[in-house]
A and B are shown apart, each in its own frame.
Chain A
Amino acid sequence: MHRKTTPEVVSTSCAELEAGIQPRKLAMSGVEKTSNESPEVEDKNKEMDAEAEESFGDDYGVEPSQYLFYRYDRKEWADLEPVPQDEGPNPVVKIAYSKKFSDVYDYFRALLKKDERSERAFALTADAIDLNAANYTVWHYRRILLQALSKDLRKEMTYITNIIEEQPKNYQVWHHRRMVVEWLNDPTEELAFIAEILSQDAKNYHAWQHRQWVIQEYKLWDNELEFVESLLEDDVRNNSAWNQRHFVISHTTGYSDPAVVEREIQYCLQQIRKAPHNESAWNYLKGILQDHGLSSQPGLLEKVLELKETHCSPYLLAFLFDCYEDALENSKNTEEQERQETLSKALEICELLAQEKDTIRKEYWQFLGRSLQMTGSIPDSLTNRHY
Chain B
Amino acid sequence: GVTDVDMSPKYHFLKDRHVRFFQRTLQVLPERYASLETTRLSIVFFALSGLDVLGSLDVIDKDLIIEWIYSQQVLPTDDKSNLGRCGFRGSSHIGIPYSTKGPGVLHPYDSGHVAMTYTGLCSLLILGDDLSRVNKQGCLAGLRALQLEDGSFYSVPEGSENDIRFIYCAACICFMLDDWSGMNIQKAIEYIRGSLVSGWTYCAIASLCLMGRLEEALSPRELDRIRRWCIMRQQSGFHGRPNKPVDTCYSFWVGATLELLGVFRYTNFEKNRNFILSTQDRLVGGFAKWPDSHPDPLHAYFGLCGLSLIGEPNLRKVHPALNITQGAFQHLQQLHQTWRSSCGQQH
A residues near B, CB below 8 A? 2, 4-5, 7, 10-11, 13-14, 16-28, 31-32, 34-35, 37, 40-41, 44-45, 48-49, 52, 83-98, 101, 105, 109-110, 112-113, 115, 131-137, 140-141, 171, 174-175, 203, 205, 209, 237-240, 243, 246, 278-280, 283, 290, 318, 360-364, 367, 378, 380-384, 387
Contacts and interface: CB of A to CB of B under 8 A. Distances in A.
B194 interface: no
A93 B120 CA distance: 14
Interface in B51-97: 61, 64-65, 67-69, 71, 91-97
B236 to A, nearest CB: 8
B43 A141 contact: no
Contact of B115 (A17, A34, A381): A17
B176 interface: no
A94 B243 contact: no
Nearest to B63: A90
Nearest to A290: B225
Nearest to A380: B220
B122 to A, nearest CB: 12
Contacts of A363: 1, 265-268
B263 A5 contact: no
A10 B289 contact: yes
Interface string B174-216: 0000000000000000000000010100000000010000110
A243 B266 contact: no
Contacts of A18: 36, 39, 42-43, 296-298
Given A40-B283, A115-B109, A137-B38, A96 B29 contact: yes
B313 interface: no
Given A7-B293, A363-B1, A383-B223, A238 B243 contact: yes
A185 to B, nearest CB: 18
Contact of B32 (A27, A92, A378): A27
A45 B35 contact: no
B15 interface: no
Contact of B95 (A13, A20, A35, A109): A109
Interface in B228-263: 228, 231-232, 234-236, 240-244, 247, 249-250, 253, 259-263
B223 to A, nearest CB: 7
Given A45-B284, A115-B109, A86 B98 contact: yes
Given A92-B68, A239-B243, 16 more contacts: A5-B292, A14-B298, A17-B119, A18-B39, A25-B32, A25-B34, A35-B24, A85-B92, A93-B29, A93-B36, A96-B30, A112-B109, A131-B34, A362-B268, A380-B223, A383-B223
Contacts of A24: 32
Interface residues of B, number: 102
Contacts of A132: 34-35, 37
Contact of A85 (B46, B93, B158): B93
Nearest to A38: B283
A136 B38 contact: yes
Contacts of B161: 171, 174-175, 209
A16 B165 contact: yes
Given A4-B293, A97-B34, A381-B215, A367 B263 contact: yes
A318 B29 CA distance: 47
Contacts of A382: 223, 227, 261-263
B68 A95 contact: no
13 contacts: A4-B292, A7-B289, A16-B115, A17-B115, A25-B34, A85-B91, A90-B61, A92-B26, A93-B44, A132-B35, A136-B38, A141-B109, A384-B260
B95 A112 contact: yes
Residue of B93, B95, B263, B320 with most chain A CB atoms under a 10 A cut-off? B95
B12 interface: no
A27 B266 contact: no
B134 interface: no
Contacts of B156: 136, 140
A69 B177 CA distance: 46
A95 B97 contact: no
B263 A135 contact: no
Contacts of B9: none
Nearest to A52: B32
B331 interface: no
B244 A203 contact: yes
Contacts of A237: 242-243
Nearest to B108: A115
Contact of A21 (B35, B98, B155, B290): B35
B253 A279 contact: no
Contact of B27 (A35, A41, A136): A35
B18 interface: no
Contacts of A361: 231-232, 234, 266-268
Contact of A383 (B262, B271, B319): B262
Nearest to A114: B108
Nearest to B272: A360
B47 interface: yes
Nearest to A20: B35
A280 B242 contact: yes
A137 B296 contact: no
Given A96-B28, A381-B215, A19 B36 contact: yes
B215 A360 contact: no
A336 to B, nearest CB: 24
Nearest to A134: B35
